[in-house]
Amino acid sequence: MVGWSTNLLFRSRKRRRRGTSTKQRCNYIQQENAQEQKEQEEEDDDGGFKLKTSACGVQPLGNLYFSSSAHNSRNTGLGNLQTLTDELVLDILGLLDATHLGNLAAVSKSFYVFCTHEPLWRNLVLEKYGGDFLFDGSWRYTYAKAYKPLAGSLNGGGSLGLKVKDFYSDYLFQSWLCANLEMRPDWLERDNILRRKGISVDEFVRDFEEPNKPVLLEGCLDGWAALGKWDREYLVETCGDVRFAVGPVEMKIDDFFRYSDQAREERPLYLFDPKFGEKVPILDSDYEVPVYFNEDLFNVLGKERPDYRWIIIGPAGSGSSFHIDPNSTSAWNAVIKGSKKWVLFPPDVVPPGVHPSPDGAEVACPVSIIEWFMNFYSATKDWKKKPIECICKAGEVIFVPNGWWHLVINLEDSVAITQNFVSRRNLLNVLDFLKKPNASSLVSGTKDRVKLYDKFKNAIEAMFPGTIDQLMQKAEERMAQHEKPSFWDSVTDTKAGAFKFSF
Ligand SMILES: O=C(O)CCC(=O)C(=O)O
């Protein structure tokens, strides 16, 4: 690849998370852009990165050193603000309302680029309209269309409009690149998860749940009505005007699909709703828990149990960045439509580029999943023990053992169901987790974060008397036998942490 891609010198960006003239002049610039776009597409086609759309005007900073003019319009156009980092400029612009942002965009090329940064407009749309918006190609245009007085002053069709020259910024370039890059084939190649079809529950417990190892289970969704039924048409018809949790807002499923059709962003919105079964009971009856995961001890808490199941719908490129599942639970994730790329690291191996806070309450990781692949994936290439990876397709289920770090990216528009559960194999871990001194900042999915430990332990003792003692005794016996787990195979809270339980 030639052009900008040979000079990718940008820094990685981190985000902290808790668990985005006149009409005539525009036409002239668009014609000019069309020619540059054609040239750029020709350049982009020689291997390496593959882009979903054509290039924008912003270039990585490294390209400045190869430019004849050595002029960066990023700086000249920002005036005294040029000394601020790109992140800081965007943070400040994030305090402005749409009118001020729109006006400031007319001040200089540089302000134009910053003020039209799509995540700023995404925030404005979500703040002003919640989930009541009809996405129209870009967030800026969506805002303008919904807010009629501004609509005439913006370029239509979802186009981002002007393209600037001599603008160099790693931050903005990488943001654009991550929104437009397709997953590279070599990021999808590794497939080293164990797969099983038709194993018994005992085999599952012995080979995977006890040793806390991931497995991909084939054929165990064969009886699910959802597999045949849950296409877009069915979901739209069945869910009608019901609103589902999508990031910070709630959206009708039809509006969400409209957004998904057009989304080109670093972190596309993701429909992730824990109450889908109550909201649309027919969805609940279209699937059943695979036999391997029937024991779920959080059931003893009845309605007071933390959130535990979610319908997940998202466009290609959406997904979940690195995290460990809540409350030290294990999980299963069943793909109904589409496919998902998984990367998993065992509990004592923090993935490269991921920085949990010492108490585990916060995780700093790259802004987007694509950014992780671009900047950190190759770090695992030479590791003796590789992360566990796979592509999980429709009809398949992955078991995610407790404590494992995982990242997921949808390779196609996808629909899935996931449930988190507590079985006897991870009961002690969950109790241990709920009892931590900082439980109020760690426990999630419930309002009652502090008392959950007592409630759960008492309910288990009432319903299954002696179980906790038996499990603790078993764990102590194991420790006494000096069962020394090997580095990788034993990276289970269950074994490694067995000696520290005291309830
Ligand atoms: O995006 C996905 O399907 C993965 C969800 C996930 O990792 C989770 O629910 O913990």
Closest atom of ligand 1 to 335 CA is 3
Closest atom of ligand 1 to 326 CA is 10
Give the angle 422-425-426 at the CA atoms, nearest 5°.
Answer: 50
Q: Give the pLDDT band (50/70/90) at residue 384.
A: confident
Q: What is the pLDDT of residues 355-380, one digit of tens each?
A: 998 888 888 998 899 999 999 999 98
pLDDT of residue 7: 34
Work out whether the CA dihedral 125, 126, 131, 132 comes out positive or negative: negative
Q: Which residues pair with 345 in a beta bridge?
A: 405
CB 154 within 8 A of CB 141: yes
Two tokens, residue 204:
């599952």
Mutate to test the pocket of ligand 1, among 418, 420, 421 (most ligand atoms within 8 A of CB): 418
Measure the CA dihedral 456/462/467/470, to 10°: 110
pLDDT of residue 20: 26
Cα separation, 121 vs 94, whole angstroms:
9
Contacts of 127 (CB under 8 A, 6+ apart): none
Give residue 337's identity as a one-letter amino acid code.
K
Q: What is the pLDDT of residues 308-339, one digit of tens each?
A: 999 999 999 999 999 999 999 999 999 999 99
Two tokens, residue 149:
């007085």
| CA 500 – ligand 1 centroid, Å | 29
Cα separation, 104 vs 97, whole angstroms:
11
Q: What is the mean pLDDT of residues 221-226?
A: 95
pLDDT of residue 483: 58
Q: Give the pLDDT band (50/70/90) at residue 484.
A: low
Cα separation, 204 vs 206, whole angstroms:
6
Which of 106-110, 231-235, 435-439 has the largest mean confidence? 231-235
Q: Whose Cα sits closest to atom 6 in ligand 1?
A: 320
pLDDT of residue 36: 46
Q: What is the pLDDT of residues 235-269, one digit of tens each?
A: 999 999 999 999 999 999 999 999 999 999 999 99
Work out whether the CA dihedral 451, 456, 461, 463 comes out positive or negative: positive
Cα separation, 242 vs 303, whole angstroms:
22
Model's pTM, two decimal places?
0.85
Q: What is the pLDDT of residues 56-77, one digit of tens each?
A: 689 999 999 888 888 899 999 9
Mutate to test the pocket of ligand 1, among 267, 320, 369 (most ligand atoms within 8 A of CB): 320
Q: What is the mean pLDDT of residues 23-31?
A: 30
| CA 311 – ligand 1 centroid, Å | 10
Start-to-end CA span in the chain (Å): 60
Contacts of 493 (CB under 8 A, 6+ apart): 212, 328, 347, 402, 403, 426, 429, 432
Contacts of 458 (CB under 8 A, 6+ apart): none
Ligand 1 contacts (CB < 6 A) are: 312, 319-320, 325, 331, 333, 340, 406, 408, 416, 418
| CA 336 – ligand 1 centroid, Å | 14
Q: Whose Cα sits closest to atom 9 in ligand 1?
A: 418
Q: Whose Cα sits closest to atom 7 in ligand 1?
A: 320
Which DSSP symbol is given to 368?
A: S
pLDDT of residue 42: 43
Q: Which domains does the chain have, with CATH numbers?
A: 3-182 (1.20.1280.50), 186-422 (2.60.120.650)
- The percentage of the chain sitting over the pLDDT mark of 70, rounded to a whole number, equals 81
Mean pLDDT of the chain: 85
Q: What is the pLDDT of residues 108-134, one digit of tens each?
A: 999 999 999 999 999 999 999 999 999
Look at 246 and 147; give whichever has higher pLDDT. 246
Count of other CB atoms within 10 angstroms of residue 451? 13
Closest C-alpha among 398, 406, 290 to residue 351: 406
Longest dimension (CA), the chain: 81
Specify the pairing of strand 388-393 against strand 339-345. Answer: antiparallel
Cα separation, 407 vs 410, whole angstroms:
10
What radius of gyration do the chain's Cα atoms show? 25
CA distances from 440 to 140, 298, 434 (A): 38, 18, 9
Two tokens, residue 10:
């940008």
- The percentage of the chain sitting over the pLDDT mark of 90, rounded to a whole number, equals 68
Q: What is the pLDDT of residues 446-458, one digit of tens each?
A: 777 668 999 999 9
Mutate to test the pocket of ligand 1, among 246, 310, 406 (most ligand atoms within 8 A of CB): 406
